[in-house]
Structure 1
Amino acid sequence: MSRMGDVLAGFHAAWEFESDSVLIRFERGIRTPKLFQALGERRIPHEAISAVTLSSGKRGTVVLHAVPRPGADPLMEAAAGQLKENCDPYRLVLPAERETLAEYYADELRAQLPPDDGESPDRFLVAPPEAPLQFKAYDGKASFDGKLVSFRWFWTGASSAKWKAGDQSFPVTDLSGIEWRSPEVFEGHLRLLRRETPVAQPAQADQDPAAVVFGLGYGPVHESLPFAASVLAAVRASGPAPNSDGLGAVAAAVTPAVRRDPADIAERIRHLGELHRAGLLTDDEFTVKKTELLAEL
C-alpha cells in the first residue's frame, strides 16, 4: 500500500496519491498545455476511475493513464472523445527511467479501485470547473454564473438570425444538456440543448440562438471546454434530463438545412479565408467548404 500523500511528478503535472482519490496538480509553465493551466488542479475520486494503464510514450517516455469511468467527469463528458492525447488530463507522461516507479504506483492505484459494474454513475463524481465563467466565441460572448447561461452577440460575427432573435439567456433548469464541438476540429461550436422547444433547433450552429460558434482564436479549448463542463454539471445537478441515459451530452435534434442569408454565406466564406491564410486549412479543404457554402445560396 502506498503511503497517503506520495507524489509522482511527470511532465506538466504531478499526481498525489491519497486514501480515496488522486489529486492532480498541473504546472503553469509556458510549455504546459493551456487546458492544464486553466484547470489548475483536480481531485479524482477512486470511484471515478475504471482502469489504470501504463504504456510506452513518444521519445523516451512512459504514460500512466487513469481511465475515467463514463459519466463520472463533466469535463470528459463534454469533450466526448475530442481531446488530443497531449491535452488529456488523465494522462501523466514521465521519463522512461521512471517506468518501474510508475508501474509500482499503477499497481497500487489499481488495488484501491472499487469494482467496476459497467454502469454510469447517477451523478458526476469529479467536480466541474468553478463558475462564474466566460469566453469570447466568434459570434458572441458566452457567460455563465452557475444558474444562467447568457449569449451576447457581436455585430462583426453573428448571423442575421441571431441578431433578429436578440441576446439570449438560458436558466440551467430549462436545459437538457450541451453539445461541444472542438474548435480544433473544423467549425467548432457550443450548443445548449433545451428540454422543451417550440420547434426543432436549427441544424447549423450559426443560425441557432442557443449556440455560439468558434473560429480562429475564438472559443479555444482551454476556455470553451471548462465552460461547457461547468454548464453540463449544473444542468445535471438541476434534475434528470428527459433523455434515456440521464447524461447531458446528447446529440442535438436537427432539421433539414434551410437556405441561408447571402450575407451569412459571405461572412462564413470570409472566415474560411482567414483560416486558409493562417495555414489551418489546405487549399483543397478551403475549396470544398467554399463550394458547399455557395451551394446553399
Structure 2
Amino acid sequence: MAEIIQKGATWTFDGAALRLTPGRERSAGLLRRTLGELLVPLDALAGISFERGRRSGRLRLRLREGADPLLQATGGRLAECHDPYRLTVGPDRYGVAAYLVEEVRRALPDRVPVGPVDAYLLPGPSLPLSASAGDGTVSFDGHRVRLEWNRRTEEAKAATGPRALPVAGIAAVEWLPAAGPETGSLRFAPRAAPVATPPRYDPNAVELWGFRRDPLTALVAAAVQARLPHPSTAAPARLPHPSTAAPDRLPPPPATTPLRHPAPPAPPAPPAPSGRPPHAPVFAVPAPRRERWLAGPGAPPEPRPLGPRAGAGAAVPVGDQDAVLRRLRELGELHRTGVLTEEEFRLAKQAVLHRP
C-alpha cells in the first residue's frame, strides 16, 4: 500500500485501485470538492508519471481513452486546479510520490491493455446535479436535462421558455470553458436537430462567462455523457464551434475527389423575356424581389430588402429620416439574431449614420 497526502488531495493505492480523495481547502478546486472521492480501477489506468520541479512537483494519472465520462465530456479542457487526475506535490514529499509511482507501475501487468475501452469504467458524478451559468441554470436528475433562463438570457432564447430534454433525445454533449474574452458553453445536441445555432440563441445550450462556479457545469456534462451510448459503439454528433455556428455559416460540404478530366462548362442561361431581367437562382433571390421582377417594369417601386450580408451598409436617400431609422432597426435585428457579427454591425451602422 502506498499513500501521499497533500493539501489538494490524498491518493491511496491498495494494489487494485487508486482512491483519490479531494482536500477540503480551496487549493483542491471547486469541481474536485463537489465531485468527491474517486475510485480508479487498475484496468482504467494507462499510466502514471511524476514530474519534479524547483518549487513543486506534479503527479499525473493517464486514463485509457473512453474510461471516464468526465474526461470524455470535457475533452482535456479542465484547468489543472479542477482536474482530479493531477496532484501538486511539495518538495518534502518527492520521495513519497516517486514510491507511489513505482508501486502503481509495478502493479500494472502486461495483461492490462492501454488502448481505448468499449465501456465506461468510472460511473460519473453523483445525481442530482444543478449548476448556474451565465444566462441560465442547467440541472440533471438522470432522466432529463432541464434548462431555465435568467434576466441575462437573450430575448429570443428566453421566449422559448424552460426546456426539458430527455436523455433518449440527446445525441451529443459538448462543454467548452470560457477563455479570455471568448465565452464558453454547455450544449446538448438533440437527435432531431443536430445543426446548432450559436449558444447565445440556442435554446439547448447555456453560455459560460468565466464565473467561479462555471466548472460545475462540467459535472452536468459528464453525468449526461455517462448515460449516452459509449463513443466506441456509436459515433456522437459533432457540434459546430460557436464561432462558426451562425445561421449563414453552415459547415462546408465534405471535399470530394476531383475529376480526372475537367467538367464541361455549364450551358448559358436562356435569354430572358423582353423587358425583364434574367431570372436568378431561387436560393439567391429573396421572394419579394422575384415577385417584383415577374410583375414587369411597370410595377410600383418597393423598398429594397436588406440581405444577410450584402448591402448591409448601403446608403439611404439624404434627408429621409424614416429610411435611416428603418435601416437601423433592420441592422439591429440582423445583429440580434446572429446574422451580422459585432464588427459587421458596427461598420454597417457607421455607413448608415455617417454617409457622405
Once the two structures are superposed, residues 272-296 of structure 1 have per-residue CA deviations (whole angstroms, 9 ceiling, x without a partner) of: xxxxxxxxxxxxxxxxx95366469
Once the two structures are superposed, residues 148-203 of structure 1 have per-residue CA deviations (whole angstroms, 9 ceiling, x without a partner) of: 0011122x222233234332111111112201011345211000022232x7221x
Q: Which runs of 5+ in 2 are unaligned?
A: 249-307, 309-329, 350-356
Instruction: Trace 1:1-40 onto structure 2 (pairs within 5 A).
Output: 3=1, 6-40=2-36
Larger relative strand fraction? 1
Pairwise CA RMSD: 3.0
TM-score by length of 2: 0.65
Match of 2:332 in 1: 262
Match of 2:218 in 1: 225
Based on CA coordinates, which of the two structures has the bigger radius of gyration? 2
User: Structure 1 residue 252 and structure 2 residue 239: aligned?
Assistant: yes
User: Structure 1 residue 51 and structure 2 residue 25: aligned?
Assistant: no
Match of 1:143 in 2: 139
User: Structure 1 residue 80 and structure 2 residue 67: aligned?
Assistant: no
Report the Cα distance in structure 1 between the residues aligned to 2:183 and 2:170, rounded to whole angstroms. Answer: 23
**1:138 and 1:219 in contact (8 A); partners too:** no
User: Structure 1 residue 291 and structure 2 residue 346: aligned?
Assistant: no
**1:82 and 1:182 in contact (8 A); partners too:** yes
Report the Cα distance in structure 2 between the residues aligned to 1:54 and 1:296, rounded to whole angstroms. Answer: 55
Distance 1:263 1:134, change over 3 A: farther
**1:27 and 1:40 in contact (8 A); partners too:** no
How far off its partner does 1:224 sit?
Answer: 0.8
**2:331 and 2:348 in contact (8 A); partners too:** no
Report the Cα distance in structure 2 between the residues aligned to 1:79 and 1:191, rounded to whole angstroms. Answer: 12
Q: Which runs of 5+ in 1 are unaligned?
A: 269-288
Distance 1:123 1:99, change over 3 A: same
Larger relative helix fraction? 1
Report the Cα distance in structure 1 between the residues aligned to 2:210 and 2:96, rounded to whole angstroms. Answer: 41
| Equivalent of 1:188 in 179, 184, 188 | 184
Instruction: Trace 1:122-161 onto structure 2 (pairs within 5 A).
Output: 122-154=118-150, 156-161=151-156
**1:178 and 1:193 in contact (8 A); partners too:** yes
TM-score by length of 1: 0.77
Relative contact order, higher structure (CA 8 A, sep 6+): 1
Once the two structures are superposed, residues 231-273 of structure 1 have per-residue CA deviations (whole angstroms, 9 ceiling, x without a partner) of: 111223xxx57xx76365x5315755346983795799xxxxx
How far off its partner does 1:79 sit?
Answer: 1.5
Report the Cα distance in structure 1 between the residues aligned to 2:26 and 2:212, rounded to whole angstroms. Answer: 20
Match of 1:64 in 2: 59
**1:157 and 1:267 in contact (8 A); partners too:** no
Report the Cα distance in structure 2 between the residues aligned to 1:295 and 1:50, rounded to whole angstroms. Answer: 52
